[in-house]
Amino acid sequence: MAIELQNMAGEDLSFGKARSADPDGGRPGVYTVVYEYAQRDEGIESGELAVRLQCSLLPAALRPAGTVADDWDWASARTDCIRCAQQRALRPSNAALVKAAPARHMPWLRPSCSGGSYL
């Protein structure tokens, strides 16, 4: 789900793995999950939203406390996540510069997630 959310925001990602966190069977249903992301903040936000969606699908008696607010709405949360990722995404010209920077040993950074530019 985290990968698909990022793809809906315009990324092109596909790598993800889930493995039992306890192969000996002492904690059934607990998994270690690894997934690809292009931008760290968007990857974390997408993962948290995916977990929240899965928790919201559980019966109330099984849902971990505090994971999903009573008034939580998947459609709104999904739209907000995608919109935020798209606003923070690099524009084509900056994306080309950032992609070329490591090959030329040029440092780059993003000052903040709330705005600003790279380089």
Pair 30, 12 in one domain: yes
For 22, half-sphere exposure in the C-beta direction (CA atoms, 13 angstrom radius) is 7
Between 12-16, 46-50, 67-71, 105-109, the lowest mean confidence (pLDDT) is in 105-109
Do residues 18 and 47 both lie within one domain? yes
The per-residue pLDDT for range 74-87, each reduced to its tens digit, is 999 999 988 888 87
51 and 97 belong to one structural domain: no
Mean pLDDT, the chain, whole residue set? 85
Question: Is the confidence at residue 53, as pLDDT, over 90?
Answer: yes
Is the domain of 77 the same as that of 113? no
Question: What pLDDT, on the 0 to 100 scale, is given for residue 77?
Answer: 94
Burial class (CB in 10 A: 0-12, 13-18, 19+), 1: middle
pTM: 0.72
Which residues in the chain belong to E strands, given as ranges? 16-20, 31-35
- Residues forming a β-bridge with 16: 35
| Residue predicted with more confidence, 15 or 103 | 15
Domain count, the chain: 2
What digits encode the pLDDT tens for the residues 90-119? 777 777 787 788 889 888 776 555 555 545
Whether residues 78 and 99 share a domain: the answer is no
9, pLDDT greater than 90 = no
The domain in which residue 84 lies consists of: 2-88
Q: Give the Cα separation of 5 and 72 in Å (integer).
A: 17
